[in-house]
């Protein structure tokens, strides 16, 4: 490796995503806060975390839980204030933990001063900070659909124009063609960098540029705003600022293909340090009971591993605040499956992110009524289903199983009232029964999911092969087993994980059975690596090669 890569501390690092609202509440108002993050820094340090990413904590009307920002340069009162945030940075840095903030620059809240001004009249100086197009209520500029349902256009009868929004109508998209708007955004970014943060997760960043309004939708409804040409200009301008401060950047870059990701994340010329792909969550089965399709899942991950093997860098994740709990939709809600999933993705090349509670094996929430849910698009979908004749029970099952609220349920800290998250009433219900899955009990159980994660993180950081070794997929056609080799000049790792609850028989290739291996992590008893072996449900192993490796 070149000298340059040695400076890339993030290649050997493990990140942790914090959804502040649901992490830990210190003042009993039922909402997690900055002081709650400060209180739990030693927990994160002990887990082996190198950096945290905070979901938005800016002032917001909370139509989309903080992703509708009304003031880019402040902290929302329930979370604390700028002084508390500064304290968090200082305390995190003292422990060697870096802090990333969420940067939401595709849109603002409709309550942001820019949009309040823009709405006033066609000749308002802020009008052009957003996308406004002449039209009538009946004939909107085009038939593009928003990510959250309905048209991307919201009609304004006063000016006889409509404005563009990819998400809720309360989240108008910024017009990146406007240089002055861009300057204001860049100035805001510098404000945070001077404040002392260590990087950004860039929300919905691949959507900054939109295709011409008359673009017809052919097959992919999102194509007119996914990594549309023209975006390079803005990404270059952003990169210039990020480079000045040498920060870590992770883009949420839906629609950037694994091939394109090479350009986006090239270590010197790329716009960003790494990106999250949004392709691997392939669902199969009936709505309300959907699961991740293992074969599709591993094909996507293997392709990203391959395409970014020598250029660019992967951000690895299996959970975040927008998806259900992985141990429910890929695992079978057991400790064993949580550990299998951990081995499967912590063995890959890239920088792993752990979403709060994932390290405990937290599972989906058994929502009993729609009132227990918070997400507006889920609530709207529920109403639609009822109107179409569904029973409340069936409709609830359908919207709740894949709801992002599953991940937004507060973290289980202890087996007591409100799972030790708050002394008050939690903003979203906590798990009714966290007798097994909680930090306090898992911390003292050597076989817990938590301690398994801890060991695996330590192992990963102790061997460079995890961050630097090549990747090679094995048993590509197998529908249940995710298996691969990681190799560098002198060493080899063999990762073997059954991602199903069933027994499977597999045939191992020569490149495995011709060598000697030692099991270094597993969630079950070790096995002999022979030509034909049987794996039980969710069996998982990481083996290290112990005979001398010549060239491969
Ligand atoms: O999500 C955005 C997001 O998922 C889209 O960019 C994605 O491309 C699309 O759904 C197609 O798969 C982010 C946040 O993570 C989410 O919580 C917010 O609601 C959203 O942006 C709006 O800011
Ligand atoms: Ca609080």
Whichever domain contains 207, its CATH number is 3.20.20.80
Q: Is residue 33 part of a domain?
A: yes
Q: Is residue 550 part of a domain?
A: no
Q: What is the CA(32)–ligand 2 centre distance, in A?
A: 5
Per-residue pLDDT for 438 more than 80?
Answer: yes
Confidence of residue 3 (pLDDT cuts 50, 70, 90): very low
238 lies in the same domain as 198: yes
**Residue whose tokens read 């969550």:** 281
Domain encompassing residue 391: 368-402
Percent pLDDT > 90 in the chain is 95
Q: Is residue 224 part of a domain?
A: yes
Query: Could you say which ligand is closest to the alpha carbon of residue 422?
Result: 2
Best substitution site from 203, 317, 321, 353 to test ligand 1's pocket, by max atoms within 8 Å of Cβ? 203
Which ligand 1 atom is the nearest neighbour of the CA of 148? 10
Q: Is residue 251 part of a domain?
A: yes
59 lies in the same domain as 43: yes
Confidence of residue 433 (pLDDT cuts 50, 70, 90): low
Residue nearest to ligand 1 atom 3, measured at CA: 204
pLDDT digits (tens, 9 = 90+) for 493-508: 999 999 999 999 999 9
Q: Is residue 287 part of a domain?
A: yes
Best substitution site from 204, 253, 320, 404 to test ligand 1's pocket, by max atoms within 8 Å of Cβ? 204
Confidence of residue 171 (pLDDT cuts 50, 70, 90): very high
99 lies in the same domain as 19: yes
154 lies in the same domain as 251: no
**CATH at residue 517:** 2.60.40.1180
Q: Is residue 1 part of a domain?
A: no
Task: Look at residue 550 in the predicted model and tell me its pLDDT.
Answer: 61
CB 347 within 8 A of CB 360: no
Q: Which of 164, 195, 230 is the last residue of a domain?
A: 164
Residue nearest to ligand 1 atom 17, measured at CA: 322
pLDDT digits (tens, 9 = 90+) for 316-345: 999 999 999 999 999 999 999 999 999 999
Distance CA(308)–CA(272), nearest Å, equals: 14
Q: What is the CA(420)–ligand 2 centre distance, in A?
A: 13
376 lies in the same domain as 356: no
Per the residue annotation, which of 102, 198, 252, 277 is the catalytic one? 252
Q: What is the CA(30)–ligand 2 centre distance, in A?
A: 6
List the structure tokens of 379: 């609530």
Q: Is the pTM of this model over 0.95?
A: yes
Confidence of residue 426 (pLDDT cuts 50, 70, 90): very high
Per-residue pLDDT for 48 more than 70?
Answer: yes
261 lies in the same domain as 310: yes
Give the phi and the psi of residue 251 in degrees, each rounded to 5: -95, 135
Q: Smallest Cα–Cα separation from 274: which of 311, 237, 229, 300?
A: 311
* Residue 211: Cβ within 10 Å count: 17
Please report which helix (H) or strand (E) contains residue 301, including its range: helix 294-307
Residue nearest to ligand 1 atom 14, measured at CA: 203
Catalytic: 252? yes
Per the residue annotation, which of 203, 374, 375, 539 is the catalytic one? 203
CA dihedral 287→290→295→296, nearest 10 degrees, is 50
Query: For 55, how many CA atoms within 13 A lie in the half-sphere containing its CB?
Result: 23
Q: Is residue 3 part of a domain?
A: no
Best substitution site from 70, 252, 282, 320 to test ligand 1's pocket, by max atoms within 8 Å of Cβ? 252
Task: Look at residue 548 in the predicted model and tell me its pLDDT.
Answer: 80
Q: Is residue 132 part of a domain?
A: yes
Q: CA–CA distance from 70 to each of 140, 194, 233, 295, 365 (Å)?
A: 27, 21, 26, 42, 31
Q: Which residues contact 214 (CB under 8 A, 6 or more apart)?
A: 142
511 lies in the same domain as 485: yes
Residue nearest to ligand 1 atom 2, measured at CA: 204
Percent pLDDT > 70 in the chain is 98
204 lies in the same domain as 220: yes
Confidence of residue 180 (pLDDT cuts 50, 70, 90): very high
Which ligand 1 atom is the nearest neighbour of the CA of 68? 23
Which ligand 1 atom is the nearest neighbour of the CA of 166? 22
Catalytic: 203? yes
Task: Look at residue 551 in the predicted model and tell me its pLDDT.
Answer: 47
Q: What is the CA(109)–ligand 1 centre distance, in A?
A: 15
pLDDT digits (tens, 9 = 90+) for 62-75: 999 999 999 999 99
Average pLDDT, integer, range 537-543: 98
pLDDT digits (tens, 9 = 90+) for 241-299: 999 999 999 999 999 999 999 999 999 999 999 999 999 999 999 999 999 999 999 99
Residue nearest to ligand 1 atom 7, measured at CA: 254
Mean pLDDT of the chain: 96
Best substitution site from 19, 167, 208 to test ligand 1's pocket, by max atoms within 8 Å of Cβ? 167
Which ligand 1 atom is the nearest neighbour of the CA of 167? 22
Q: What is the CA(325)–ligand 1 centre distance, in A?
A: 17
Average pLDDT, integer, range 402-407: 96
| CB-count exposure of residue 443 (10 Å: 0-12, 13-18, 19+) | middle
Per-residue pLDDT for 467 more than 70?
Answer: yes
Confidence of residue 2 (pLDDT cuts 50, 70, 90): very low
337 lies in the same domain as 376: no
Query: Could you say which ligand is closest to the alpha carbon of residue 80?
Result: 2
| CB-count exposure of residue 240 (10 Å: 0-12, 13-18, 19+) | exposed
Q: What is the CA(53)–ligand 1 centre distance, in A?
A: 16
CB 448 within 8 A of CB 47: no
228 lies in the same domain as 356: yes
Which ligand 1 atom is the nearest neighbour of the CA of 321? 17
Query: Could you say which ligand is closest to the alpha carbon of residue 35?
Result: 2
333 lies in the same domain as 250: yes
Q: Name the domain count of the chain.
A: 4
307 lies in the same domain as 355: yes
| Residues flanking ligand 1, CB < 6 Å | 64, 67, 104, 147, 167, 203-204, 222, 252, 254, 278, 321-322
Residue nearest to ligand 1 atom 16, measured at CA: 322
Q: What is the CA(3)–ligand 2 centre distance, in A?
A: 45
Q: What is the CA(520)–ligand 1 centre distance, in A?
A: 38
Task: Look at residue 1 in the predicted model and tell me its pLDDT.
Answer: 39
């Amino acid at each position: 490796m070149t000298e340059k890569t040695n400076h890339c501390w993030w290649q050997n690092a493990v990140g942790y995503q914090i959804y502040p609202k649901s992490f830990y509440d210190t003042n009993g108002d039922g909402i997690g806060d900055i002081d709650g993050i400060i209180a739990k820094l030693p927990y994160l340090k002990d887990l082996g975390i190198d950096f945290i990413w905070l979901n938005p904590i800016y002032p917001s009307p909370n139509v989309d839980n903080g992703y509708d920002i009304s003031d880019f340069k402040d902290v929302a009162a329930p979370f604390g204030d700028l002084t508390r945030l500064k304290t968090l940075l200082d305390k995190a840095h003292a422990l060697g933990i870096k802090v990333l903030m969420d940067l939401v620059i595709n849109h603002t809240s409709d309550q942001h001063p820019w949009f309040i001004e823009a709405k006033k009249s066609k000749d308002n100086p802020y009008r052009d900070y957003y996308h406004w197009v002449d039209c009538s209520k009946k004939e909107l500029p085009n038939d593009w659909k928003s990510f959250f349902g309905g048209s991307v256009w919201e009609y304004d009868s006063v000016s006889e124009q409509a404005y563009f929004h990819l998400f809720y109508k309360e989240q108008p998209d910024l017009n990146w063609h406007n240089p002055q708007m861009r300057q204001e955004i860049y100035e805001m970014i510098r404000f945070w960098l001077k404040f002392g943060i260590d990087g950004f997760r860039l929300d919905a960043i691949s959507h900054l540029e939109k295709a011409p309004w008359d673009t017809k939708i052919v097959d992919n409804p999102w194509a007119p705003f996914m990594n549309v040409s023209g975006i390079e200009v803005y990404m270059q301008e952003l990169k210039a600022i990020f480079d000045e401060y040498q920060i870590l950047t992770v883009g949420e870059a839906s629609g950037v293909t694994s091939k394109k990701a090479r350009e986006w994340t090239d270590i010197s010329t790329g716009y960003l340090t790494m990106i999250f792909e949004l392709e691997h969550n392939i669902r199969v089965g009936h709505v309300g009971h959907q699961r991740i399709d293992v074969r599709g899942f591993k094909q996507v991950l293997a392709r990203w591993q391959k395409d970014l093997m020598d250029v660019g860098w992967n951000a690895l994740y299996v959970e975040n605040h927008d998806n259900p709990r992985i141990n429910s939709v890929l695992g079978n809600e057991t400790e064993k499956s949580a550990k299998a999933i951990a081995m499967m993705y912590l063995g890959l090349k890239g920088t792993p992110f752990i979403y709060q509670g994932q390290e405990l094996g937290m599972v989906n929430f058994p929502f009993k009524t729609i009132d227990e849910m918070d997400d507006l698009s889920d609530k709207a979908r529920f109403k639609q289903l009822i109107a179409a004749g569904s029973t409340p029970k069936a409709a609830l099952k359908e919207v709740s199983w894949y709801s992002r609220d599953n991940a937004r349920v507060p973290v289980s800290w202890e087996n007591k009232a409100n799972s030790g998250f708050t002394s008050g009433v939690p903003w979203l219900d906590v798990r009714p029964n966290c007798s097994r899955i909680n930090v306090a009990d898992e911390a003292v159980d050597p076989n817990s999911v938590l301690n398994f994660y801890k060991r695996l993180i330590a192992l990963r950081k102790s061997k460079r092969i995890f961050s630097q070794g090549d990747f090679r997929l094995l048993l590509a056609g197998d529908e249940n087993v995710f298996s691969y080799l990681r190799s560098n000049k002198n060493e080899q790792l063999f990762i073997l994980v059954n991602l199903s609850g069933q027994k499977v028989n597999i045939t191992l290739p020569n490149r495995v059975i011709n060598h000697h291996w030692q099991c270094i992590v597993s969630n079950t008893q070790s096995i002999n690596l022979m030509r034909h072996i049987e794996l039980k449900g969710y069996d998982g192993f990481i083996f290290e090669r112990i005979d001398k490796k010549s060239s491969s």
